[in-house]
Amino acid sequence: MDLFFDNAPTLWSGFRVTLQLTAVSGLLALALGLALAALRVAPLRPLRAVSMLYVELMRNTPLTLVFFGMVLVAPQFGIIPPLGFWTAVLCLTLYTSAFVSEALRSGINSVGVGQAEAARAIGLTFGQSLRLVILPQAVRTVIPPLINVIIALAKNTSVAAGFAVVELVATGRRLGQAIPGEAVTILGGIALLYLVFTIPAGLLATRLEKKVAFAR
């Protein structure tokens, strides 16, 4: 365990990258996911189809493949993604937005269809109906699943390790290689650092879920 504490500063900086990746990708994924969810319930069929295609594609692709695609395949088509941190943000955002969209969509569907019809019937546009009537009512049911999406995102930042972004797992691996025999201790420490973040988030999600259940 000493070893873990001796290397705490290195691990801490890895932890910080994890948090930064989670925060930046999380915010961007919320924005993109919201746009995807809006398209998914739009009154025009082609818009719905585009959103559905994107979401299904991303949901059923392993995250590592998204990274591989971005780092190895995209350049062959002349798309040169920025390297390091922002590549990771891009991949994590594209991937996570699909799950955000699904969480939002289930929230939107939990609001009765009559609410949307009444909104349209008084002359609100599609965007206004969504913003003024549907989303405010969807929020309550949507927050717990969204927190779970963000927890998954925090764990998924470890995939960035393989792609030159120095976050927690990558740091641990380098330390493990530098100091063989102590890999288990170090991995254990890393798991702990993750849990420091994910367990409170999980508890928050559960509590909110209960609160929502009461409010109904």
Partner 1 sequence: MVSQSPGSSAGQPGSGPLVVLDNVNKYFGDLHVLQDINLSVARGEVVVIIGPSGSGKSTLCRAINRLEPITSGTISIDGVPLPAEGKALAQLRSDVGMVFQSFNLFAHKTVLQNVTMGPVKVRKMRKAEAEELAMGLLERVGVANQANKLPAQLSGGQQQRVAIARALAMKPKVMLFDEPTSALDPEMINEVLDVMVALAQEGMTMIVVTHEMGFARRAGDRVVFMDSGSIVEEADPDEFFTNPRTDRAKDFLSKILTND
Element (H, E) at 180: none
Residues 20-49: x where in contact with partner 1 by CB under 8 A, - otherwise, as a string:
-----------------------xx-----
In the chain, the DSSP E strands lie at none
Contact 98, 59 (CB under 8 A): yes
**Minimal distance in Å, beta carbon 208 to partner 1?**
17
Listed in sequence order, the residues at least 6 apart from 194 whose beta carbon sits closer than 8 Å to its beta carbon are 18, 154, 155, 168
Q: Answer yes or no whether residue 130 interacts with partner 1 by CB under 8 A.
A: no
DSSP letter (8 states) at residue 197: H
Instruction: List the helix and strand counts (H, then E) for the chain.
Output: 10, 0
Does 118 sit near partner 1 (CB under 8 A)?
yes
The nearer residue to partner 1, 44 or 178, going by C-beta atoms, is: 44
Shortest Å distance, C-beta 3 to partner 1: 54
**Other beta carbons within 10 Å of 61:** 14
Q: How far is the CB of 127 from partner 1 (least distance, A)?
A: 10
Least spacing, CB of residue 161 vs partner 1, in Å: 43
Window contacting partner 1 (CB under 8 A); options: 101-109, 123-131, 155-163, 174-182: 123-131
Q: Which of 8, 83, 132, 164 binds partner 1 (CB under 8 A)?
A: 132
Q: Does 125 bind partner 1 (CB under 8 A)?
A: yes
123 binds partner 1 (CB under 8 A): yes
Fill in the amino acid letter for 72. Answer: L
Distance CA 194, CA 188 (A): 10
Residue of 56, 59, 117, 203 that binds partner 1 (CB under 8 A): 117
Distance CA 158, CA 17 (A): 10
Provide Rg for the chain, Cα atoms: 20
Where does this chain touch partner 1 (CB under 8 A) — which range of 19-27, 112-120, 147-155, 170-178? 112-120
Q: Is residue 189 within a helix (H) or strand (E), and if so which, with residue range?
A: helix 183-215
Residue closest to 25 by CA, chosen among 56, 72, 66, 75: 66
- Least spacing, CB of residue 23 vs partner 1, in Å: 29
The reply on whether position 136 binds partner 1 by CB under 8 A is: yes
Question: Under the rule (CB under 8 A), what is the footprint of partner 1?
Answer: 43-44, 112, 114-115, 117-126, 128, 132-133, 136-137
